[in-house]
Structure 1
Amino acid sequence: MRQNTTQRFALAAALALAIGGVHAHDGKAHTGGIPSTANKAVTADFDIVHTKISTEKNIATFHMAVSGKAGKSTPAATGKLAGSDVFSYVWPTTIDPYEVGFEKGAGILAMAVTAHPDFDDTPLYDENGDGKLDNDGNLWHSHWVVLKPNEACGPGALGVVDIPEGSKPRLPKTWPGFPILLDSPGWSPTLNAETIEVKVPFDDIGVVTAGSFDGVTAGLRVNASVHAPLLCVVDVFKVASGNLSLPGKPNQ
C-alpha cells in the first residue's frame, strides 16, 4: 500500500512538471510562466529555468530564475567603450515601444537588466551611492531596449536599433543620450539567490496583460568602431522558449 501511494505521488509530480503548471527551482515551486529545463552546458547564472511576467494594479513584475546564482558573472573590464561587453537578462515582449516613449512599431521592445564595467548609461542615477553618476555600469541595472534583426551584427543576429545621425525620433524622457533606442528608467532590479526581478509601473497595465513575452540571457558588444551598429547581440546564452516564439502570457 505504501509503495502504491509513493508511486502515485511520484506520477502526480511528474505530470505536474510535464504540463508546466507547477515547476521548481532551488526547491521552490513556481507556477505559470515559461518553464525551461536546466542545461549544464550553459553557465549556471545564465541558465534560465523559469520566466514570468505578473501584474498587480499598475505594476508589472518581470521575473526570471536560473539554475545558479543570478548576477554572479559580469564582463571583464577592458578600460574602453569600444569593443566592450554587456551581460544581460532580457524579457522580449510584444508591447509596442510607443507605450514606453519610443516611436510606434520601432521594433521589439524588451526589458533588460544589464551589467557592463566599461561605461555608464544611467546618467540620472547613482547606483553605488558614491556621489558620482558615471561610474557604476558594473552594477546590475534596468533598461528598455528596442531590438531588430541586423545583418551587420551577424547572420540572423539582433541589435539595439540605431538612431541615424540627424534624425530625431520620439524618445523617453530618461533616454541616456546614446544614439540607440535605449531608455534608462531607473527601475532597480532585485537579485536574490537564483532569481532576478524588476517591478515596472505602467500608465495602462492593459498593454502588458494583452501582450506576450519570452526570456533570454545574452552577451552584447559595443562596436569596436563605436559606430552603427553600436550595440549587437553577439552571444545568446539561452532562450526560455528555445525558439524566441514569445509564448508567455502575463498572469498565466
Structure 2
Amino acid sequence: MLGRFATGALAAGTALFWLTTASAHSIKAEPAEAVEAAFDIIETTIVTRGDSAIFTTRVRGEAGKDKPDATGRFEGSSVYAYVWPTSLDSGAIGFDAGQGIVALAVTFHPDFDDAVKGGKNRHVWHPHWVVLAEDKACGGGLKVIDIPEGTTPKVPETWPGVPLLIDSPQYPTSFKGDTVDVAIPLSLIGGIKGAAFDGVTAGLKVNGNLHAPLLCVSNVFKVASGDLSLPGKVVPAE
C-alpha cells in the first residue's frame, strides 16, 4: 500500500535519495550531502525492549538542531518532522480501522500548539501519531488525513481536537547527539511486534487558506529505504 502513496512524494524532486541496505530490524542509508545533516538519515530502527517499543533514527548531523522559522501565523506555517511510517492499521492507535498510512512523527512547529487538552508544545520537539494519505495537492504527495466538517470519526483519548487524524500522546522523547528516540508502552500499540517500517525526514505546511488538505507533507528531505517500501521489521532488541 505504501509504495502507491510514495510515488507522489518521490516524484516531488525535493531531495536526492540513495540506495539503502536493510537488516532484519534496521534500515541503513548512505550519507547524502544534498540533505541537511540534521535530517540526513543514516539508520532507523524500531525494536521492542521490555514492555516498550523504541523508535530510533540516527542522522549524519545533530538531530533536532534545525527548526522551522516562526511566521507569527497558523495559516501557512511550517513543521519539521522525523517520521516512522509503519504497516500498523489506524485502528491500532485509536482511530477507525483502514484509514491510511500510520506513522509516528516527532515534530517541531513554532507557530501553534496541538497538545491534548489545550496544552502547550509549540517550542519543543514532541511526538504525534498521524494517519497519511496520498494527495496530489501537496508538494510531497502526502497529507495528514482531514476530518470532514460534520463527521464524528473514532478518535483516541489524546486527540488534540483538530480536524485531522492526528494524536498527541505524551511519549518520552529524547534527542542525544545524532539520535532521536521515542519510547512507547507496548500496551498502547497493538500489532507493533513484527510490523514493517521505514524512516523519513520531512517538512510539512499548514494550508494558507485553512482548507483541506489542511496539513500537507510539503518537502521530503530523505527516505531511509529510498522508496518507502517499509523494509524494516520490528523485532526484540538484541
TM norm structure 1: 0.82
- Conserved in 2, the CA contact under 8 Å of 1:59 and 1:205? no
Give the aligned CA root-mean-square deviation in angstroms: 1.9
Equivalent residue number for residue 46 of structure 2: 53
SS at match of 2:191: helix
Equivalent residue number for residue 167 of structure 1: 151
Counterpart of 1:67 (choices 57, 60, 71) is 60
Equivalent residue number for residue 195 of structure 2: 211
Equivalent residue number for residue 12 of structure 2: none
Q: Distance in 2 between matches of 1:120 and 1:179?
A: 14
User: Greater relative contact order: 1 or 2 (C-alpha under 8 angstroms, separation 6 or more)?
Assistant: 2
User: Considering only CA atoms, is the larger Rg found in Structure 1 or Structure 2?
Assistant: 1
Q: Distance in 1 between matches of 2:204 and 2:166?
A: 14
SS at match of 1:242: coil
> How many residue pairs were aligned?
217
What does the per-residue CA deviation read over 1:186-241, in whole Å, with 9 as the maximum and x for residues that have no partner? 11311000000000113276611131000000000000011210000010000000
What is the percentage of aligned positions where both structures have the same residue?
Answer: 50
What does the per-residue CA deviation read over 1:114-171, in whole Å, with 9 as the maximum and x for residues that have no partner? 000000111448xxxxxxx33x3121000000000012224x7000000000010010
Q: Distance in 1 between matches of 2:34 and 2:230?
A: 23
Equivalent residue number for residue 182 of structure 1: 166
Q: Distance in 1 between matches of 2:91 and 2:179?
A: 29
Pick which of 49-58 and 85-94 moved more.
49-58
Q: Map 1:88-107; keep pairs closer than 5 Å.
A: 88-107=81-100
Check 1:137–1:188 CA distance in 2 against 1; reply closer, same or farther (3 A cut): farther
**Structure 2, gaps ≥5 residues long:** 1-19
Q: Distance in 1 between matches of 2:50 and 2:110?
A: 35
SS at match of 1:139: coil
TM norm structure 2: 0.86
Q: Map 1:104-119; keep pairs closer than 5 Å.
A: 104-119=97-112
Q: Map 1:1-252; keep pairs closer than 5 Å.
A: 32-124=25-117, 133-134=119-120, 136-154=121-139, 157-203=141-187, 207-251=191-235
Check 1:41–1:89 CA distance in 2 against 1; reply closer, same or farther (3 A cut): same
Check 1:95–1:20 CA distance in 2 against 1; reply closer, same or farther (3 A cut): closer
- Conserved in 2, the CA contact under 8 Å of 1:57 and 1:205? no
Pick which of 206-215 and 179-188 moved more.
206-215
